[in-house]
């Protein structure tokens, strides 16, 4: 839908004029290349313009990992081609890159890395046709760059001839302590290891590269156009915003809840089937913090504000009029950070950080680490969920103060403040008791060490006296 641009800030009777609609263009979703459409990004426009069937001598792909290799034939007859250097590098190159008859490198290998590692289907290729715009969701976006693996091989061979790599200082033994991991962490690590193993075992799929004018390339491009463009879409023009999503993406009767929960995050459709308190809990775990008005919109119009507030008080704390997930739900007793800090200490530290945000617009990580007595990296992990880092300012709370909620529900704000302050005082009292116990234990250990030293000295003195007497 396109409109003619109006002059900026043009007002009529104090109301901004809408741009007039001059043309309506249909947008179609094509699935002809679903699961097979990749976008290649190159580091040189010259390279893109010179990619044709004659230059690509070999191509292959690992579809699951979205890894691509293209072997480009070099123009050995060019005046810019250095034959002497190519012969020197040929000794360390792969056989597929070397011209056996001339004994120099004849191909260049382009290897890929994922330019968009997560959710590439958010992007699409658009094709403009006379009947409208055809959108094609992407399966992956990869960035291709030259690979110089033969240089590493050449370096290794040179080091072997010269007697190995340069000597380094002998390694010294060190003591390393590892914290005990929970069953959940062990399971997660095992899943990651299995996934890494599956990726390494995935074989290369050899492919054939066709230039743009080839008949096969033309046929593939035709798949980018939607075949059926005469569907009736009048049912998508719903009266309310709430009824639009079910009309656009209707739930399937045989949809498996295990598939929805495979990544540990419930879909909006699954969340809507849960009881109110469970909905609020799961949504807060996903968002970590939110405004009351936003959560109310997400839950729909089926619940009253009092019911929503009652559910929030069970799982969240009120910070500057915004609701923040309780630390005890984020860090349970079985949780342990990679730096070895247990869940109870992390929860107590997070509560202190939240309390600091109540009275400060921005906080400094080093000061928080000193106050909470946990590693600075753990403090940063906590801050990333609830604050944004501002250059030369510090960490600022993600949301502005929600004065509308505070003014509408002052009694809820007072009650939340009382509960939060009570929890903080309880944590401080517990820390003081633990510190006192540790101090007493250290004092006892010191006295015990002193007694052992005195007894040892007395034993040596008695032994010397016995030797003199004998």
Range with the poorest average pLDDT among 135-139, 233-237, 453-457: 233-237
Higher per-residue pLDDT: 311 or 177:
311
pLDDT band at 409 (very low <50, low <70, confident <90, very high): very high
CA angle 66, 70, 72 (to 5 degrees): 165
The model's pLDDT over 92-114, given as tens digits with 9 standing for 90+, comes to 555 545 554 456 677 888 888 88
Strands of 124-129's sheet in order across: 27-29, 132-137, 124-129
| pLDDT attached to residue 318 | 93
Q: Smallest Cα–Cα separation from 107: which of 95, 122, 97, 120?
A: 97
| pLDDT attached to residue 470 | 55
Residue 114 to residue 120: CA distance in whole angstroms: 10
How far is CA 310 from each of CA 43, 58, 185, 464, rounded to the nearest angstrom? 55, 64, 33, 79
Q: What is the mean pLDDT of residues 416-441?
A: 82
The model's pLDDT over 184-223, given as tens digits with 9 standing for 90+, comes to 777 778 888 887 787 778 888 998 888 888 898 888 888 8
- Could you tell me if 405 and 320 are in contact, meaning their C-beta atoms sit under 8 angstroms apart? no
Residue 386 to residue 395: CA distance in whole angstroms: 9
Query: What percent of the chain lies above the pLDDT cut of 90?
Result: 22
For the chain, domain boundaries:
24-163+198-222, 266-458
- Here the contacts of 115-121 (C-beta below 8 Å, separation 24 or greater) are 115/41, 115/141, 115/142, 115/143, 116/140, 116/141
Residue 280 to residue 329: CA distance in whole angstroms: 13
Residue 267 to residue 40: CA distance in whole angstroms: 31
pLDDT band at 401 (very low <50, low <70, confident <90, very high): very high
| pLDDT attached to residue 10 | 44
Residue 458 to residue 470: CA distance in whole angstroms: 18
């Amino acid at each position: 839908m396109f409109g003619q641009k109006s002059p900026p800030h043009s007002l009529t009777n104090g109301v901004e004029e809408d741009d007039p609609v001059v043309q309506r263009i249909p947008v179609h979703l094509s699935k002809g290349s679903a699961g097979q459409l990749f976008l290649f990004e190159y580091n040189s426009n010259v390279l893109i313009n010179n990619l044709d069937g004659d230059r690509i001598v070999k191509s292959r792909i690992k579809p699951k990992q979205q890894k691509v290799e293209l072997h480009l034939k070099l123009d050995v007859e060019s005046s810019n081609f250095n034959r002497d250097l190519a012969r020197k590098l040929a000794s360390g190159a792969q056989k597929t890159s070397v011209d056996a008859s001339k004994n120099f490198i004849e191909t260049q290998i382009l290897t890929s890395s994922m330019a968009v590692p997560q959710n590439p289907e958010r992007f699409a290729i658009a094709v403009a046709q006379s009947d409208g715009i055809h959108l094609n969701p992407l399966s992956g976006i990869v960035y291709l760059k030259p690979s110089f693996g033969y240089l590493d091989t050449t370096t290794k061979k040179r080091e072997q001839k010269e007697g190995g790599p340069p000597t380094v200082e002998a390694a010294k033994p060190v003591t390393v302590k590892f914290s005990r991991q929970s069953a959940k962490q062990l399971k997660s690590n095992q899943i990651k290891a299995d996934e890494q193993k599956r990726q390494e075992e995935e074989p290369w799929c050899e492919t054939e590269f066709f230039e743009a004018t080839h008949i096969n390339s033309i046929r593939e491009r035709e798949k980018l156009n939607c075949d059926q463009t005469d569907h009736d879409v009048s049912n998508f023009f719903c009266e309310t915003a709430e009824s639009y999503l079910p009309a656009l993406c209707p739930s399937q009767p045989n949809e498996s809840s295990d598939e929805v929960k495979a990544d540990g995050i419930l879909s909006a459709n699954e969340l809507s089937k849960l009881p109110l308190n469970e909905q609020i809990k799961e949504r807060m775990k996903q968002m970590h913090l939110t405004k009351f008005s936003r959560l109310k919109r997400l839950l729909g119009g089926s619940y009253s504000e009092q019911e929503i507030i009652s559910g929030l008080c069970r799982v969240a704390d009120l910070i500057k009029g915004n609701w923040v997930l309780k630390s005890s739900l984020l860090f349970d007793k079985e949780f342990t950070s990679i730096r070895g800090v247990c869940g109870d200490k992390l929860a107590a530290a997070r509560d202190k950080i939240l309390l600091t945000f109540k009275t400060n617009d921005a906080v400094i990580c080093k000061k928080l680490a000193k106050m909470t007595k946990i590693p600075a990296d753990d403090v940063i992990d906590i801050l990333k969920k609830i604050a944004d880092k501002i250059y030369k300012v510090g960490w600022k709370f993600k949301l502005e103060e929600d004065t509308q909620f505070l003014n509408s529900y002052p009694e809820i704000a007072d009650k939340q403040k009382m509960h939060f302050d009570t929890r903080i005082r309880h944590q401080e009292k517990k820390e003081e008791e633990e510190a006192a116990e540790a101090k007493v234990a250290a004092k006892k250990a010191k006295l015990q060490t002193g007694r052992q030293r005195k007894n040892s000295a007395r034993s040596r003195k008695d032994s010397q006296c016995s030797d003199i007497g004998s």
